[in-house]
Amino acid sequence: MKYVKQLLIIGAISFIGELLNILIPLPIPASIYGLVILFLALLFKVLKLEQVEETANFLLSIMLIFFVPSTVSIINNFSELKDFALEILIIIFVSTFTVMIVTGLTAELIAKYKKERN
């Protein structure tokens, strides 16, 4: 029953994100609204981590399953995409390295901040 309650909380936050996406005319995905709402709820202690932690960890552990439909779609439409293969590969490599660099720098800043606090 605990998992159902946690899933309902996460689902309700996702639903609120969907509603905000409809109501606010900005080009922001509904999932981002949901993540921000969840973050703020956890930050301001409206929601305790224990209320969503186990189900969130489970969803993270099976996250790769959610990429199967998009992968199948790419395979089905490969004939249309092969004309843009070079551009797509360049975008993939540039964005991957950008994310790696930003993540590394952020981790270093956090480690430095924690070291200075102690």
What per-residue string of b and e applies to 40-61 under the rule 16 or more CB within 10 Å gives b?
Answer: ebeeeeebeeebbeebbeeeee
pLDDT band at residue 45, thresholds of 50, 70 and 90?
very high
pLDDT of res. 74: 85
DSSP-H helix ranges across the chain = 2-23, 30-43, 53-61, 68-76, 78-81, 85-117
- CA-to-CA dists, residue 27 to 14, 22, 73, 94, 109, angstroms: 17, 10, 23, 23, 30
Digit-coded pLDDT (tens) for 57-74? 999 999 999 889 888 988
Q: How many residues does the chain have?
A: 118
Digit-coded pLDDT (tens) for 66-108? 889 888 988 888 888 889 989 999 999 999 999 999 999 999 9
Rounded to two decimals, the pTM is 0.66
